Chains A and B, each alone.
Chain A
Amino acid sequence: MSQLALPLQLEDHAVFESFWPAGNETLVAFLLDLAATQRGPGCWLWGNTATGKSHLLQAVCERLGDRSVYLPMRDLQSTDPAIIDGLAAREFVCLDDIHSVAGLPEWEPALFSLYNSISDAKSVLIVSADTSPRDSAFELPDLKSRLSLLPAFHLRSMPEEERQKALQLRASHRGLELPDDTARYLIARSKRDMASLYALLDRLDAEALVAKRRLTVPFVKGVIGF
């Protein structure tokens, strides 16, 4: 009988140190400065899925502790908008996947009110979305206009040649050594988006802990079965 993996999450996830910027260096520098200085109204991050938007928003919160709040709007869209009441009392408000509530009549006025309170309190609003502010599906013109004040940064997808470095950086943050040949093996055979690769790394981490094995190609082959 194999030993059960401990229900332990290593603290390596959504932090700036484990984010491989790959063309998004300016954005990372901007966010680090924003977190340090609270200068400006905030920003709007947009891009395809698995480009690291959630990671960056959570990394900001990780830096700021209880001065910040993070809300995954995709998971909360069917929740009562009362969940965003009073958030402006935190200095940094991070709303992930804000496009999930665009066009929802009960959410848009609540967001408009939140935006105004954040602006009055000189707090910072950081949002992520799948489009630029101009292209967003918000229907309340006052809200859409206010959100367009946030400087918008487009997150680029990870270039092919950077995937290996990103994966190895993530592994090293978990205390795992991911040799070049294993990394190449994984990238060549798994789904190509970074979210799938990172999920695979999670799985390998757990299995390696149980089996007390290193991440060699034969071990990985045995685990993922291809």
Chain B
Amino acid sequence: MQAESTLWTHCIRELKAELPEQQFNTWIRPLQSIEQAGTLKLLAPNRFVVDWLKEHHAERILQLVHDLDSGVNVVIEVGSRTPERVVENPRRPPPPVASGTRQAPPPPIASRLGPAFTFDSFVEGKSNQLAKAAAIQVSQNPGESYNPLFIYGGVGLGKTHLMQAIGNAMLARDPGARVSYVRSERFVGDMVKGLQHNTISEFKRSYRALDALLIDDIQFFAGKERSQEEFFHTFNALLEGQRQIVLTCDRYPKEVHGLEERLKSRFGWGLTVAIEPPELETSVAILKSKAGLLGTEIPDEVAFFIAKRIRSNVRELEGALRRVIANAEFTGRPINLDFAKMALRDLLAVQDRLVSIENIQKTVAEYFKLRVADLLSKRRSRSVARPRQLAMALAKELTSHSLPEIGDAFGGRDHTTVLHGCRRIASLRETESRVEEDYVNLLRTLTG
């Protein structure tokens, strides 16, 4: 990295005194300077900032520089002193091109795999075990077993982790494998760049030379017809060459609006697996594993406390865990249940406000197209009793109300009725997939 210019250091001292603080911090402070051969180069993070500076501040900057050294030329352009931090992997040379053609090898695409995303660090539970098993299978037999592998599920449930774990496992088995993890918007960006710079054929050859293409969040292809067209051909070329394709999406392929039918149908050629929100025990295991990666241990009761209160997704769990660890680190106190409650009290206060018994009753009633009054009534037909029991079980899980309080809130029922309802739902969730699905959907609505 090159050193900052002393001339610029002097200038920013002046500009800091002249400009309102916020303006200084926004436009001047992020400029990185390089001084060489009579030129002061000021590097801005993007074209927008360059244009703004040229319009509003360039004149004054030039004046200040010339006051100190009239022979210096000032250039403002997009750039950074720090080299781009991209994870590259060693790769073997691309496959030979068909005879008769004399094309140069395509430029390689970075793997962009995060080394932390491995199968070992992926915590398995009921909600994701099928997806994990399929991913392991694919990493061991790329291009053969399930192609494409389509992993779908809500945000923050580990789709990206699993996808990158496939790539890392492939590289561990064959360090020369050409594997690339690409977010769909990056694929679009690379393609647009290719069109703009007349390098679309290199773009095509680079992508089609891969052994495994991992594309994340393909829902962002929706509505982008040119990108879909290009992806369709890349997809076909890779599949024909028995190269592996792994895709993730926030929903089932058929449900992605704005995606061409021919793509949707091809996505279903291999295996489509879902990742569901983690159940309580898996969330606890995830928290303990993440705490370990952050160099801390947390007691079970703390992990259960966090997992029980924050159910929407794994990222939010991690955010809460990091908050507790930060508090422990900077106060020097050990992590126990009271400490965790204290550290998260502001976050949980918000959640408590959101998840009340009334809110649960309203949500459950809407879900089953009933009235709240039905849930509170004496009616015992199954169409009302089952939703009522689900609502009671959710109230027990998501609020800190006692069983008698929950009973009271459901039309003055006895606490043993609540207990019976909760046990009934727990047992039905094991045996009837419909009940399990309703429960998980409602839980997600109430906590997500």
**Chain B min CB distance to A6 (Å):** 10
**Is A65 within 8 A of B46, CB to CB?**
no
- CA A2 to CA B61, docked complex, whole Å: 32
Extra contacts, 20 of them, besides A142-B217, A149-B315 (Cβ < 8 A), are: A13-B21, A25-B330, A26-B326, A61-B29, A69-B29, A70-B25, A70-B26, A83-B48, A85-B47, A90-B30, A116-B185, A120-B86, A121-B85, A132-B346, A132-B350, A134-B312, A141-B250, A145-B155, A149-B318, A152-B323
**Is A80 within 8 A of B25, CB to CB?**
no
- CA A67 to CA B322, docked complex, whole Å: 24
B residues adjacent to A (C-beta < 8 A): 4, 16-18, 20-22, 25-26, 29-33, 45-49, 78, 80-82, 84-86, 112, 154-156, 183, 185, 217, 250, 312-313, 315-316, 318-320, 322-323, 326-327, 329-331, 346-347, 350-351
- CA A28 to CA B110, docked complex, whole Å: 38
**Is A134 within 8 A of B155, CB to CB?**
no
Our pick among A67, A87, A133 for the contact of B316 (Cβ within 8 Å) is A133
- CA A202 to CA B33, docked complex, whole Å: 32
The 30 sampled A-B contact pairs (Cβ below 8 Å) are A11-B16, A11-B17, A14-B25, A26-B326, A26-B327, A30-B330, A33-B330, A40-B322, A54-B22, A66-B4, A67-B82, A68-B29, A80-B48, A82-B47, A89-B80, A116-B185, A120-B85, A121-B84, A133-B316, A133-B319, A134-B316, A141-B155, A142-B250, A144-B155, A146-B155, A149-B319, A150-B319, A152-B323, A152-B346, A154-B346
**Contacting residues, chain A, for B329 (C-beta < 8 A):** 33
Which 8 A-B pairs have CB atoms at the shortest separation, nearest pair first? Answer: A145-B155, A154-B346, A69-B30, A89-B80, A151-B322, A70-B25, A29-B330, A151-B323
From 103 to 160 in chain A, residues with beta carbon under 8 angstroms from any chain B beta carbon are 109, 112-113, 116, 120-122, 131-135, 141-142, 144-146, 148-154
**Is B48 within 8 A of A85, CB to CB?**
yes
**Contacting residues, chain B, for A142 (C-beta < 8 A):** 155, 217, 250
**Is B351 within 8 A of A134, CB to CB?**
yes
- Counting chain A residues whose Cβ lies within 8 A of the other chain, the interface size class is 35 or more
A13-B21, A151-B319 in contact; A66/B32 too (CB < 8 A)? Answer: yes
